[in-house]
Amino acid sequence: MTEVPLISLFDALLADLDGVVYAGQHAIPGAVDSLQQLEGLGIGLGYVTNNASRTPAQVAAHLRELGAPADDDQVVSSSQAAAELLASLVAPGARVLITGSPALAQEIELVGLTPVYSQDEDPVAVVQGFNPGIGWKDLAEAAYVVSAGALWIATNTDMSIPQARGIAPGNGTLVAAVAAATGQTPRVAGKPEAPLFHAAAKRLAADRPLVVGDRLDTDILGGNNAGFATVAVLTGVDTTATILAARTAERPDYIINSLSDLHRPYPALDDTDGTHRCGASTARVSGDTIHVSGSKRDLDSWRAACAAWWTAVPDAALPTEPKLEWRNH
């Protein structure tokens, strides 16, 4: 192991929210304490969220209610990114159909554009973001405008969102409905695009930020796209099995059980003649099979398996399907 906690190798933490800090209205065990410790270490903290249903101020207020440190400007949202993107593409004051929340409409107004809610108001663009109150009529209105040739921006395309009761449909499923109806594809403003992460790092004046997230296809891919170090946390959507199978662009630099692990040394990975060791576990690849010596319940076993498999298959454009053979010590 290295002698210092993992987080001390970086000057800021850029944290996803859903599945990392909280699930639904409740904090994930250990998350708040882990975030509170950062200030004492001199490490910056920013929140990067694809959830466009609330304003950054509302998100920050929720975080403070949970006990997490959060000023309004520490939250960077996909709704802000969508508004900035739209403002760069249409004329000042242009009418934009809002398929989303009042928070999204507010961000559109803040960049000098005009929110509207019907095709009859002649919008030149559609912006679509998550809102749990969206219904068929809202999606139909978006489809009418998109079909007529308007610019279409999606805040994000997360297919699912962690809730207290389980995994629920995310904005990506609603975007997919409009895409299926129109045959069109939106431009995406939030994760996994890099600007959202660059904006967050810039606010913190961070040179070496660490991106932490529970989703490979948004958080980890986005952090990788931004050129930042990434860590996958196992408190949300993705699992050790999906991380192992990840395509190259979505592979994290680190894997942790929870945010608490940020304050512990990260175990060293060693490769000796094709045998990858992490802690007491080892892994070796033969063909399409990973031979692992260690317990399935030990994250070090999965870290070793990932190191071995990713070394053997460095260029994977699609998720892979390795076989695993386990042998306990």
**Residue 275: Cβ within 10 Å count:** 15
Residues 6 or more apart in contact with residue 174 via CB below 8 angstroms = 99, 128, 130, 134, 139
155: phi then psi, degrees, rounded to nearest 5: -65, -35
Give the span between the Cα atoms of 166 and 63, in whole angstroms.
20
Among 294, 299, 295, 320, residue whose Cα is nearest residue 309: 320
Beta-carbon contacts of 44 under 8 Å, excluding residues fewer than 6 positions away, are 11, 12, 13, 38, 204, 205, 206, 209
Annotated active-site residue 217? The verdict is no
The one catalytic residue in 11, 18, 158, 214 is: 18
273 catalytic, yes or no?
A: no
Task: Write the burial class of residue 295 (CB in 10 Å: 0-12 exposed, 13-18 middle, 19+ buried).
Answer: middle
User: For residue 12, which amino acid is it?
Assistant: A
Instruction: Give the DSSP H or E segment for 25.
Output: none
Question: How many Cα atoms within 13 Å fall on the side-chain side of residue 93?
Answer: 0
For residue 126, give Cα distances in angstroms to 87, 144, 185, 187, 246.
12, 10, 12, 11, 32
Give the other-Cβ count within 10 Å of 171's Cβ.
28
* Catalytic residue (one of 11, 16, 217, 300): 16
- Dist. CA 83–CA 155, nearest whole Å: 9
Query: Residue holding tokens 């662009």?
Result: 249
Q: Catalytic positions, please? A: 16, 18
